[in-house]
């Protein structure tokens, strides 16, 4: 049944924007360096009055959240979404519709789940049929008779002029895959952002307090 409440769960497309961010990717380094740097700063005579150790703890745990979230993202996000945020970047590295179909086929073969905006699950064969009708040159109707949708997807005769549209459509099919992991990663990232917000608020408070 449809459940519109699931619309608040971030899609892989949204998660990829966070996971591929350079600052987020650097969180791995901060997880290791923050404790080391904090210990050094604690030993400096001028610093204790600013109560920095508490702020450093928040920074450490926010980095840890982004690090864990990004680790799970790299593990579970569909490759096409994770590696290529746009058609331009996809073409820039020399990939063609052949590789696009391999991404699509492999994802289906690995039990990718297609969900509508209302969270209804669509079967692989239905999706392959839709892609065929929208983007192929209709020269391989036999593909629609094959039970294994992943096999049919791999040999889809996509029209050259529709490569761009096919890329975005196939990529969008992957946005709502792996619901459980999207919930976990989205929650971890949200905690990370909350901690960063708290850190900014605390430091702002101390700066204003020092000025006043």
- The reply to whether 42 falls in a domain is yes
Q: Match 């099919």 to its residue by tokens.
A: 173
pTM across the whole model: 0.82
Please report whether residue 170 resides in a domain. Answer: yes
Tokens (6 digits) for 22: 């350079």
Q: pLDDT by residue (tens digit) across 69-90?
A: 999 999 999 999 999 999 999 9
**4 falls within a domain:** no
Same domain for 105 and 149, yes or no, is: yes
Residue 208 lies in a domain: yes
96 and 140 inside one domain: yes
Tokens representing 92 are 């820039």
Residues 69 and 123 in one domain: no
Query: Does residue 34 or residue 135 have the better pLDDT?
Result: 135
Q: Are residues 194 and 208 in the same domain?
A: yes
According to the model, what pLDDT value does residue 8 have? 82
Same domain for 72 and 147, yes or no, is no
Assigned token pair, 152: 């049919």
Per-residue pLDDT at 1? 38
Strands 121-122, 114-115: parallel, antiparallel or unpaired by DSSP? antiparallel
Same structural domain for residues 132 and 152?
Answer: yes
Q: Supply the range of the domain harboring residue 135.
A: 85-176
On average, the pLDDT of the chain sits at 85
Residue 155 belongs to a domain: yes
Q: Are residues 164 and 201 in the same domain?
A: no
Whole-number pLDDT of residue 42: 62
> pLDDT at residue 40 above 70?
no
Shared domain for 110 and 51, answered yes or no, is no
166 and 183 assigned to the same domain: no
| Higher per-residue confidence, 63 vs 102 | 102
**Do 64 and 114 have their domain in common?**
no
105 and 56 within one domain? no
In a domain, 1, yes or no: no
Q: Which residue has the higher pLDDT, 89 or 43?
A: 89
Give mean pLDDT, residues 142-165: 94
Statement to judge: residues 192 and 167 lie in one domain: no
Domain count across the chain? 2
Is the pLDDT at 96 greater than 60? The verdict is yes
Could you tell me if residue 3 is inside a domain? no
In a domain, 116, yes or no: yes
């Amino acid at each position: 049944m449809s459940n519109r409440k699931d619309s608040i769960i971030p899609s892989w497309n949204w998660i990829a924007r966070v996971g591929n961010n350079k600052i987020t990717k650097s969180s791995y380094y901060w997880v290791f360096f923050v404790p080391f740097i904090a210990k050094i700063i604690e030993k400096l005579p001028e610093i204790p009055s600013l109560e920095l150790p508490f702020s450093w703890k928040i920074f450490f745990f926010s980095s840890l959240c982004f690090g864990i979230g990004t680790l799970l993202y790299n593990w579970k996000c569909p490759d096409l979404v994770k590696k290529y945020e746009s058609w331009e970047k996809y073409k820039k590295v020399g990939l063609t519709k052949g590789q696009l179909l391999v991404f699509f086929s492999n994802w289906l073969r690995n039990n990718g789940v297609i969900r509508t905006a209302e969270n209804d699950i669509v079967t692989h064969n239905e999706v392959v049929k839709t892609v065929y009708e929208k983007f192929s040159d209709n020269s391989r109707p036999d593909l629609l008779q094959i039970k294994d949708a992943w096999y049919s997807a791999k040999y889809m005769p996509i029209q050259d002029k529709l490569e761009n549209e096919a890329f975005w459509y196939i990529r969008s099919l992957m946005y709502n895959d792996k619901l459980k992991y999207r919930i976990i990663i989205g929650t971890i990232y949200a905690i990370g952002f909350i901690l960063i917000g708290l850190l900014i608020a605390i430091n702002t408070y101390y700066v204003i307090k020092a000025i006043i």
